[in-house]
A and B are shown apart, each in its own frame.
Chain A
Amino acid sequence: MFEARLAKGAIFKKILEAVKDLLTEASWDCGDMGITLQAMDNAHVSLVSLNLRSDGFDKYRCDRNLTMGMNLGSMSKILKCAGNDDIVTIRAQDNPDTVTFVFESENGEKQSDYEMKLMSLDLEHLQIPETEYACVVKMPAGEFARICRDLSQFGDSIVISCSKQGVKFSASGDIGSANVKLAQSSNVDKEEEAVTIEMQEPVSFTYACRYLNFFTKATPLSAQVKLSMSPEYPLMVEYAIDDIGQIRYFLAPKIED
């Protein structure tokens, strides 16, 4: 028996919005420690790694480890049926063919359940090696989404350069060029509005706008986003998910041919 109950059910709705355009299907791996999902996009350019810790759920029971293959478009359709304030429970038997989503209104007067067929997916899991990043930028998630959207008008790539002075986002194309520079915040009252930079060495890499814009679908999950960069390593874009976990996106850079 597997059962995971989350009073803040809207988190699940936001997670699906954050992955459904990038991934068509994925395996949800459930165990004692919680729920994880790892999947590459179809073109194998990026990797999504989601982690939801069991202690972050209001109720969590997992008698046996199980892997549930799901079509994320179908799962998203079902989660759209949940209200923003609904309590969401995910339930499955051991060795399941189906998974059940139960939505309860806050006052307990409405309860709906949706059963979805599972898929047998034979997906590769990748080893994500530990690394010390050369640059780690923390900034407001909404600001990052805005910059990616704005610069996407100029070309299909964004260059992210990070130095002691700050972080610079650049794009160029047929209509011209664009640069957005952010300095490290000197004095912030609200932590979530701060821009902070931890730098070992300056870096500058080129990334595809298309994927960055997919990643920013996670913006509603978190006030801040963390961008981590190193030579010979993919960009990591991380959004914390309340006190339950995080979603990380890894993106391979564009390199000189």
Chain B
Amino acid sequence: KVKQAGIMSFFKKK
């Protein structure tokens, strides 16, 4: 089963 990752698990807040 696949789930959608969020972009913030890769890019952090400035």
Contact = CB atoms under 8 A, between A and B. Distances in A.
Contacts of B9: 252
Range class of the B interface residue count:
10 to 19
Nearest to A206: B2
B6 to A, nearest CB: 5
Interface residues of A, number: 26
A233 B13 CA distance: 16
Contacts, number: 60
Given A124-B13, A126-B13, A127-B13, A208 B4 contact: yes
A126 B2 CA distance: 25
Interface in B1-14: 1-14
Given A44-B7, A46-B7, A47-B7, A254 B2 contact: yes
Contacts of A126: 7-8, 11-14
Contacts of B13: 124-127
B8 A255 contact: no
Interface of A: 40, 43-47, 124-129, 157, 206, 208, 232-234, 250-257
12 contacts: A43-B6, A44-B7, A126-B13, A127-B12, A127-B13, A206-B2, A208-B4, A234-B10, A252-B7, A255-B2, A255-B5, A257-B1
